[in-house]
């Protein structure tokens, strides 16, 4: 897939599941549970044990109707390892110019993390395909709307503070997608092996997202 295809897929799906696990052996069960609930884009963070190896395994085994990316990528070397393993996009909690360059030199989508408008513009000017607004917990959807007023060309994806119930609010504010972690991949459910609960959460989130549609100018509006 080309970078533009990956970006378009993320914008179409509008949900990126951020997966942080203590037990690597539960990753496939989590992804299968999320897929059963309608989620198709997965960010496997580097905090998962053996994350690079697992990304490689998933890239080989999973169908082409899902996207596997790497998250919590802090340096060029890790980005290159993840890309070689099969990651289709690379997400960072912070903005690192050399990570963007490493991704683009290999034709892979780069999604750096930024907090302030200045960081967002710097990352966008450096070639970010989407800018992850992180952490979004203290910002709220109004921040997205306020930033996009003078910067409508920027593609923003809030992560942190996005819940099943408020995910649609971020999209209505203008975000192209949302990154959802613990609210979706509940640590207690994973620990208990209750993957049906993760599927239920994915179904609820997908239903809430499907309740809105996106106009041609990418401004989300409520379904009539």
Give catalytic residues, as residue numbers.
43, 132
Integer Rg of the chain from CA: 16
Instruction: Name the residue among 171, 120, 219 with its Cα closest to residue 13.
Output: 171
Separation of alpha carbons 208 and 220, rounded Å: 13
- List Cα–Cα distances, 69 to 45, 56, 189, in angstroms: 8, 10, 23
CA distance 198 to 189: 7
Rounded-to-integer distance, Cα 36 and Cα 16, Å = 15
Greatest extent of the chain over all pairs of C-alpha atoms, in Å:
47
Closest listed residue to residue 34, CA positions, set 190, 160, 178, 171: 190
């Amino acid at each position: 897939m080309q970078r533009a295809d990956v970006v378009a897929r993320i914008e179409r799906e509008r949900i990126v599941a951020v997966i942080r696990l203590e037990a690597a052996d539960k990753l496939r069960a989590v992804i299968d549970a999320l897929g059963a609930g309608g989620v198709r884009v997965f960010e496997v963070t580097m905090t998962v044990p053996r994350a690079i190896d697992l990304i490689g395994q998933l890239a080989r085994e999973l169908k082409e109707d899902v996207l596997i990316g790497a998250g919590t990528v802090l340096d060029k070397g890790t980005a290159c390892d993840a890309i070689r393993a099969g990651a289709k996009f690379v997400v960072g909690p912070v903005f690192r110019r050399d990570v963007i360059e490493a991704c683009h030199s290999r034709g892979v989508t780069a999604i750096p993390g930024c907090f302030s408008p200045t960081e967002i513009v710097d990352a966008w000017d450096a070639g970010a395909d989407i800018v992850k607004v992180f952490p979004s917990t203290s910002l709220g959807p109004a921040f997205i709307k306020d930033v996009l007023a003078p910067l409508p060309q920027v593609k923003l994806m809030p992560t942190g503070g996005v819940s099943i119930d408020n995910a649609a609010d971020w999209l209505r504010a203008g975000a192209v997608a949302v990154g959802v972690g613990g609210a979706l991949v509940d640590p207690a459910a994973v620990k208990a092996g209750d993957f049906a609960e993760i599927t239920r959460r994915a179904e609820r989130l997908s239903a809430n997202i499907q309740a809105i549609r996106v106009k041609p100018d990418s401004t989300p509006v409520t379904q009539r």
